Structure 1
Amino acid sequence: MASLIKRFRATLSTPGLLIGTLLFALSLTPSLLPRDFVLQGILSGASFAIGYGIGALGGWLWEYMELKLPPGRVSLIIKLSAAVLCIVVALISLYLNTGWQNSVRKVMDMPPVESAHPINVALVAIVPAVLLIAIGSIIAYGVSLVSRWLRRYVPQRVAFVISIVIVGVLTAYLFNGLLLRNALRAADTFFERLDALQFQMNPTPAPTDPLASGSSASLVAWDTIGRDGRVYVETGPSKEKIQEVIGRPAMQPLRVYVGLRSAPTLEQRAQMALDELKRVGGFERSVLVVIMPVGTGWVDPPAVDTLEYLQAGDVASVALQYSYLTSPLSFVIEPTYGTDAAQALFKAVYDYWTTLPRDHRPKLYLHGLSLGTLASQGSTELYDVLGDPYQGALWAGPPFSSPTWSWATANREPGSPEWLPRFRNGASIRFNNQTNAVDIPGAKWGPMRIVFLQYASDPVVFFSYDAFYRRPAWLEGERGPDVSPDLAWYPVVTFLQLALDMALSQTSPMGHGHVYAPRDYIDCWVSILDPPGWDKASIDALKKTLEPLYTSPGQA
């Protein structure tokens, strides 16, 4: 046992401990979303492991360059002093974690927590820290093993460089290429089969309304629509409910949904969506919205319900499922697949729409949330529709890689913050958050109206890879209304915090993070559509009526 302890002490990296503890402490500072002790422990453990790896690599380079090291007794004193310092820093940061978490909860109107459970955080952190350090040690051992073998044929330093390349490429291929993608594809297939099995075991009756997708009159089979598609078809407001809320006559909104199993190929599913839309009279309504769901096929109820109330039911919408995985997983497994689906659906609808007389066809709009926004932005190139453009789009929670959003944000007016940009004169693109910033004094809309709905606390929107080494622009100047004033940028750590926030973006309360509130959808739709029969008082009344109906997040 004594020999094992001695060996462990000898291999322990002092620079690794110092930098690992520093990153551990910084990981406890606020980010965009609040965290419980389990998630905080996972984040802090991973941060420590990465910091330890950075420090250990630095220490190894010091020795590799044959720089002078302190003598044995001095080295021991340094190690002991470093250990004490690390313990003190870790304890202080764990103590401060409660206040930091409450600073995030305060700006999101959440009640404060009495404790962030520091002991639990520390215990949970041990698991990812040990696991990741072990993986790093195995990779380092692999480099050493390959290097020793190559030394038989090439000089030592050349062998070392080649071994790093070989092991690095193999590791990247193993985790990203072989394991991750295949595992996610298998997961997509598994969830598709699970969805079908769940329906077989607990079938829900098909709609009786002949205008509903999946009904006996529909071209789409009810058992192929998918769980989230069935929710979309069944849960919208009825004609009677709309009349009750708005106090005037209304129509029954039309919702068309085609599932991933509704037809064998993407082109066939897009054609089926068009045929179903024509069957129910979707092109006879005043407004037609082409929707791209999130990765699971989910369509955010507040987005579509508010539209149907504002239009007094005089609206048709069509959606096409392209995956069974959540948006973050779909983005990893096949980021272009949603775009392929969006292009197929838009082309089918648009090509038919352009054959109709301009004064006898609906206004055409696009909509998406999260990955659906990314896909929807890729529906078409602007030059393909310049001769007969669609009327606009409402894109909520645009992922950080969204091309149109990125371009408009990068070219925003000087002085406008990244979390709420102003694009030129506001004639074509506007941004909105909780403050109804979409109404710009003096600005006039052009023929195409595009609105991005985003919250400053949405990590799906404001994650970026370069946060690893550079301070994000949205932290410059005035903060967003729901971003903690204690949030600061730290290399490596902020990147890890935002990555975790993005994976858990649906855990925030309504109106923050990636959970968009009906009141904000209403402001966007009003600006885009100019729906008839509404004034400020009636719009405020609609917001007040609908707000209590949506309390839980969706499935982006």
Structure 2
Amino acid sequence: MFPRRLSLAGITGASLFLAASLTPSLLPRTALMQGALSGLCLAVGYGAGTAVAALGRLLELPDLPRRPGRWIALAASLFGIAMLFLAEGWQKELRGLMAMQSIEPFGILKVSGIALAIFFALLGLARSILLVIRTVTSSIHHRVPRRAATLAGLLATALLMAGIIDGVVLRYALRAVDGSYQRLDALIDADLAAPASPLRAGGPGSLIDFDTLGRQGRSYVSTGPTLEEMERFSDKPALTPVRIYAGLNTAETVEERAALALEDLKRAGGFERKVLLLITPTGTGWVDQAAIDSIEFLHNGDIASVALQYSYLSSFLALAVEPGYGQESARALFNAVYGHWKTLPRDSRPLLYLFGLSLGAMNSDLSADFLDIAGDPFQGALWSGPPFNSRLWQMATAERERDTPVWLPRYRDGAAIRFTSQTNALDLTGRGPQDGWGPIRIVYLQYASDAVTFFEPASFYRPPAILEAPRAPDVSPSVRWFPAVTFLQMGFDMLIANQAPNGYGHSYAPEHYLDAWVAVTGTGAYDEAGLHRLRQHFVDADP
């Protein structure tokens, strides 16, 4: 019925974990991602089952007779197979919830093949490790007590594996990834020419060479709404927005890059604009155009923005490999710009705001020490999709009003920090989203379906708060918590969060940014009717 070399307890555990892995989580999964997740869950479940059986033997509990054990394993396996046929319906439900146009076939055979391949690969690896432990143990057990020999075998194998992983696997894997990202960052898109405007980094008269900006920086300074587009839409005179960006190759050190960005900002007249925006990019140096386009339209171009690249790796890798670089870069830029800004006359200097998405939000939060700015604070910040371990976000969420959900919390009276989502929730007084604020306005834009924000390490052993009632509109009522499995599901959700359609997951829509900017910076060049038209413009432009 089953291969003799497979544990019946392991098969039972693997089948139950497989069944749980096929249930929905925050985001829809492709067949490839579902297969990878299910393969990992099969391996974890198999390990859990064999561990339970081993614990029973250690406690000298009677073994389950083999015949009933086979029937239990068979029933669990059939349950896991049956769940494969239900999984496609759950994935379609999630795609419908997020208004995804294309419904990709789930592919039961593809999911099964990928899952089994990963399971047997991980099982082979685990058995190889056990073989090393047994070999070491057997070679010394006649010299030392049995338990001491077993402990020595475990320690020796752990040290060997750590040396292989750290000295060989990680070193060469990170070197390969680092090299590929570096080459990608250096690529110059043939469709992107250096800006013709002196108001852009890399343009005429700029102190920063266009070729040093990196791929994302070159894209940022070469795009954005034009003067004609803004004037045609607002029916008012507009200004060309100032966009300054310094790449990793712009200068040798982060302090030199920040100083050069400041000087280029001065040269372009950034401190003569109504609004000045300090941007902390994501790990690759990417700046979310939806966020910046919306605020530039809102203020009819009377705005300058400046950003500093700190990595060319993805945010996940940048956090793992270079955990302090983002904070160091964000703080260097803030100190440089804020240091000059606070010397200017208060009645004529621009309004100063901070912005960051994802890892950029976390590092932007860390860029300023509030004790240092208390006497002369900046005006506010918009942070979208903050990672779950963001300092200020964690504090405000943990201390939210008891009757508010984790996905849309209310912090105290909303004078300093407010949260919003797909539906604008920033009007806390009933008199408009600009009412009731203190001297600093901080808005978090977050979606409940974004695992980057709502992942919880504790979901390994307890339900995450995002599944508590009332649930957000973008979290399916079919999502259930399973020990260990939900932890893995949300980990995979983080990996695919950027692939969600606009307005879900980690893809933030321009119309939602616009609502947040209005609360943080005011209505800009528009009255209520104009804001409605502008919001509809972004809704219609959404892909």
Tell me if TM exceeds 0.5: yes
Retained in 2: the 8 A contact 1:303–1:518? yes
Q: Matches of residues 116-265 of structure 1 in structure 2 within 5 Å? A: 116-172=106-162, 174-175=164-165, 179-180=169-170, 183-184=173-174, 186-196=176-186, 198-199=187-188, 202=190, 204-265=192-253
In structure 1, runs of 5+ residues without a counterpart are 552-556
Cα distance in 1 for partners of 2:155, 2:540 equals 56
3-state SS of the aligned residue for 1:359?
Answer: coil
Q: How does 1:345-364 map to 2 (within 5 A)?
A: 345-364=333-352
Q: 1:493 aligns with which of 477, 485, 505?
A: 485
- 3-state SS of 2:203 partner: coil
1:97 correspondence with 2:84: no
Q: In the alignment, which of 330, 338, 360 is matched to residue 318 of structure 2? A: 330
Partner of 2:541: 549
Question: Does the aligned pair in 2 maintain the 1:188–1:323 contact within 8 Å?
Answer: no
Shift of 1:154: 3.1
Is 1:20 the counterpart of 2:14? The answer is yes
Inter-partner Cα distance in structure 2 for 1:429 and 1:366: 14
Q: Does the 8 A contact of 2:406 with 2:465 survive in 1?
A: yes
Tell me the alpha carbon deviations over residues 91-116 of structure 1, each in whole angstroms, 9 at most, x when there is no partner. 21011112211221232123584852
Tell me what 2:392 maps to.
Answer: 404
In structure 1, distance between residues paired with 2:157 and 2:211 = 47
Instruction: Tell me the secondary structure at the aligned position of residue 39 of structure 2.
Output: helix
In 2: Cα distance, 1:479 partner to 1:114 partner: 26
In the alignment, the residues of structure 1 paired with residue 261 and residue 163 of structure 2 have an alpha-carbon distance, to the nearest angstrom, of: 38
DSSP-derived class of the 1:58 partner: helix
Q: Deviations over 1:259-304 (max 9, x none)?
A: 1111111111111111111110111111111001111111011100
Task: Give 2:342's aligned amino acid.
Answer: T
The Cα of 1:121 is off from its aligned counterpart by 1.2
Report the counterpart of residue 538 of structure 1 in structure 2. 530
Query: Offset at 1:179?
Result: 3.2
CA 1:114–1:398: 2 relative to 1, 3 Å: closer
1:497 CA drift (Å): 0.7
Q: How does 1:423-442 map to 2 (within 5 A)?
A: 423-441=411-429
Measured in 2, the distance between the counterparts of 1:192 and 1:241 equals 35
Aligned to 2:519: 527
Instruction: Note the aligned Cα RMSD (angstroms).
Output: 2.0
Structure 1 residue 128, shift from structure 2 partner: 1.1
Pairwise CA distance, 1:467: 1.1
The residue identity in structure 2 corresponding to 1:261 is N
Give yes or no for the alignment of 1:308 onto 2:299: no
1:465 is matched with 457
Please report how far the alpha carbon of residue 78 of structure 1 lies from its aligned counterpart in structure 2 after TM superposition. 3.0
Mark the CA change 1:177 to 1:489 in structure 2 (over 3 Å): closer, same or farther: farther
Structure 1 segments, 4+ long, off by >6 Å, are none
Kindly indicate whether the alpha-carbon contact (under 8 Å) linking 2:39 and 2:114 is maintained by their aligned counterparts in 1. yes
Conserved? CA contact 1:213–1:219, under 8 Å: yes
Q: Distance in 2 between matches of 1:521 and 1:85?
A: 50
TM-superposed CA distance for 1:494, in Å, is 0.6
Matched, 1:393 2:381: yes
* Among candidates 317, 333, 337, match of residue 305 of structure 2: 317
1:188 deviation in Å? 2.6
For the 8 Å contact 2:446–2:453, the answer to whether it is kept is yes
Q: SS of the counterpart of 2:92?
A: helix
Using the TM superposition, give the Cα deviation of residue 152 of structure 1 relative to its aligned residue in structure 2, in angstroms.
4.3
**174-183 or 364-373, which moves further after superposition?**
174-183
- Unaligned stretches of 5+ in structure 2? none
Q: In the alignment, which of 42, 66, 69 is matched to residue 48 of structure 1?
A: 42
In structure 2, how many angstroms separate the alpha carbons of the residues matched to 1:312 and 1:39? 43
Query: What TM-score, normalized to structure 1?
Result: 0.93
Residues 190 and 101 (structure 1), Cα distance of their counterparts in 2 relative to 1, 3 Å cut:
closer
- TM-aligned CA deviation for residue 33 of structure 1: 0.5
Give me the whole-angstrom Cα distance separating, in 2, the residues matched to 1:86 and 1:177. Answer: 40
Of residues 348, 357, 360 in structure 2, which corresponds to 1:372? 360
Matched, 1:384 2:365: no
Distance 1:93 1:64 in 2: 33
Conserved? CA contact 2:459–2:484, under 8 Å: yes
1:177 shift after superposition:
7.2
User: Structure 1 residues 108 and 345, CA, compared in 2 at 3 Å: closer, same or farther?
Assistant: same
Given that 2:380 and 2:440 are in contact with CA atoms closer than 8 Å, whether structure 1 keeps it comes out as yes
Aligned pair partner of 2:71 in 73, 78, 81: 81
- State the percentage of identical aligned residues: 46
Contact 1:431-1:452 at 8 Å conserved across structures: yes
Structure-2 separation of matches of 1:399 and 1:204? 32
Alignment-derived partner of residue 481 in structure 1:
473
